[in-house]
Amino acid sequence: MYDSKVVRRRRAVLAVFVVLSIAILTAYFGESGGGFFHTLQRGAQEGVAPIETGASRALKPARDFVGWIGDTVDAKDQNAALKNEVQDLRGRLARAETDLRDADQLKALASLHEENYFPQSTAPVTARVIARSSTVWYSTLKIDKGSSDGLRDNQPVIAAGGLIGKLTSVTGGTSEVRLITDGESGVSAQVFPAGVTGVVRPEVGDPEDLLLEHVESGRRVTENTLVVTSGFKSSRTESLFPRGIPIGRVSKADLEEVDIYQRVHLKPYADLKSIDIVQVLTRRPRGAQTAGVGLP
């Protein structure tokens, strides 16, 4: 019984509030802008406004701090994503440049084999450079092919342009190349097509300059002529290499007055500072086809 009375009272109070609310809203929307309820609303807003302004100013540092944290987190995430994207793009660019450089060197090697003076009795084994000498004289290279690929000591090695050296140390899976710019190097050579012979050696102090020494002064060598391996089998300038591998082109010829020889400077065809792909010229079995120049 008691509970029923309480419920009825609450319902009655609620009904009164609903009726009053409807009456106030009706009066508010029905009166003019200067009416009682509009005036009361403006007064309430003016009274509360300083409190709202103060609260807003008091809470602004907190809101700014929360916003700064959110912006910082977003910026860090964006920065990390951009760094990953840049790293990925750099990797793709490096691979594309490497592939393009490899393609250019393979194309140059293929063109070299098509020259009419190039020896056709060889079977080229294509290899990649995996290490270089630590000195500025470009004396040696290491390649990723060895005796298991048919390589052995003293076989000639070419790169885009022409001869770069010979094998001096061969293991099962790698080989070392002694470059023609090494101080111990010497290549029996011939000026093509004149037939003047000499020995190509490095110029001390200039790894980009080669010398053709022991050239008889009676047979003058002129600038811009081609120099190739001589291929001689029995002479004081006996050659380890087959005849016809291009070495370089004559850049300058000096007549030595103190003896009977002419000193000839060569510009090597191969760029010994940026070699990535080489070919080792092995002996081709009789009846075999010429090997391709593509990387395995």
* pLDDT tens-digit readout, 66-88: 677 777 777 777 777 787 877 77
Domains belonging to the chain, first-starting first, are 123-283 (2.40.10.340)
Cα-based torsion angle of the residue sequence 38, 39, 40, 46 in order, rounded to the nearest 10 degrees: 110
Map tokens 């070919």 to a residue.
279
pLDDT at position 256: 61
Residue, of 235 and 39, whose pLDDT is higher: 39
Looking at residue 148, its pLDDT comes to: 94
**Structure confidence at residue 290 (pLDDT):** 44
How long is the chain? Answer: 296
**What confidence score (pLDDT) does residue 214 get?**
79
Looking at residue 221, its pLDDT comes to 83
Q: Does position 49 have pLDDT exceeding 90, yes or no?
A: no
Residues in CB range of 169: below 8 A, 6 or more apart = 153, 175, 176
**% of the chain beyond a pLDDT of 70:** 69
* 127 Cβ contact partners less than 8 Å away, ≥ 6 residues apart: 143, 144, 145, 149, 175, 277, 278, 279, 280
Can you give the pLDDT at residue 130? 93
| Chain mean pLDDT for the chain | 77
More confidently predicted of 92 and 152: 152
| Better-predicted residue by pLDDT, 17 or 121 | 121
- Distance between CA atoms of residues 135 and 132, nearest Å: 9
| Top-confidence residue, 111 or 194 | 111
- Residue 282: is its pLDDT beyond 70? yes
pLDDT category of residue 289 using cuts at 50, 70 and 90: very low
Instruction: Please report, rounded to a whole number, the percentage of residues in the chain having pLDDT higher than 90.
Output: 23
Tell which wins on pLDDT, 128 or 91: 128
Give me the pLDDT at residue 96, please: 76
User: Which pLDDT belongs to residue 252?
Assistant: 87
- Rounded mean pLDDT of 193-212? 82
Residue 48 has pLDDT above 50, yes or no: yes
pTM of this structure: 0.64
Q: Cα separation of 34 and 219, whole Å?
A: 121
What local confidence, expressed as pLDDT, does residue 250 receive?
92
According to the per-residue pLDDT averaged within each range, which of 38-42, 242-246, 270-274 is highest? 242-246
Res 292: pLDDT = 46
- Strand, coil or helix: what is 217? coil
Q: What is the pLDDT of residues 114-169, one digit of tens each?
A: 888 888 888 899 999 999 887 656 789 999 999 999 999 999 999 998 999 999 99
